[in-house]
Amino acid sequence: MVILAVVAAVALAACGGDERPRRSLPALTAAAEAICADGAARAERLRADAQPGARGAAAAREIAVTRAALRTQIGGFRRLRGPEATDAPIADLVRYLESADAGLAVIERAAARDDLTVDEAVRSRPAVVGRVNRASAQAADQLLALGWLGCVVLPGG
């Protein structure tokens, strides 16, 4: 499923006067891992607040809250600037996470429109779930490539 704690077609491009200073690699890693820790805490709160069996609009709201937490992480990663060598991997990470978010939006709409539970909405869109899973796996690969090991959530761990 989606790696919310980590868990993308906008490239990191500094615009004119909005250019942020570059961080050292250790400072960049610390900032990224803080973003991931916040995401993990949000994910835990989402799990605690989940209403199993919620359907339709209520199920869609649960997905929407999950997407909002994911978009907070996306925004955090998008703002990161480290050594130039990290620009492309971070842009890829953001792109993959945005792809996962787009897939979740499809599932959210299905839950609302078809009066489905979250599980039913997921099962009703296997191709979309496949795209979300691929994007999530690609995001995890980018996190590993960047050395942000504290951001990678292992199943069952």
Segment 69-81, tens digit of pLDDT: 999 999 999 999 9
Give the tens place of pLDDT for each residue, 96-121: 999 999 999 999 999 999 999 999 99
| Single pTM value for the model | 0.83
If phi > 0 it is left, if psi is from -120 to 50 it is alpha, else beta; for residue 115 that is left
Angle between helices 87-114 and 57-79 (to 10 degrees): 170
Give the tens place of pLDDT for each residue, 17-70: 457 899 999 999 999 999 999 988 888 888 888 888 899 999 999 999 999 999
Please, which residues bridge with residue 55 across strands?
117
Per DSSP, the three-state class of 65 is helix
CA of 8: how far to CAs of 40, 90, 118, 135, 138, in Å?
A: 18, 10, 22, 8, 10
Nearest Cα neighbor of 133 from 1, 40, 43 is: 1
Please, which residues bridge with residue 117 across strands?
55
CA distance 126 to 131: 9
pLDDT at 127: 97
Per-residue b/e over 70-92, b at no fewer than 16 CB within 10 Å? beebbebbbebbbeeebbebbbb
CA distance 142 to 127: 23
- For residue 6, pLDDT beyond 70: no
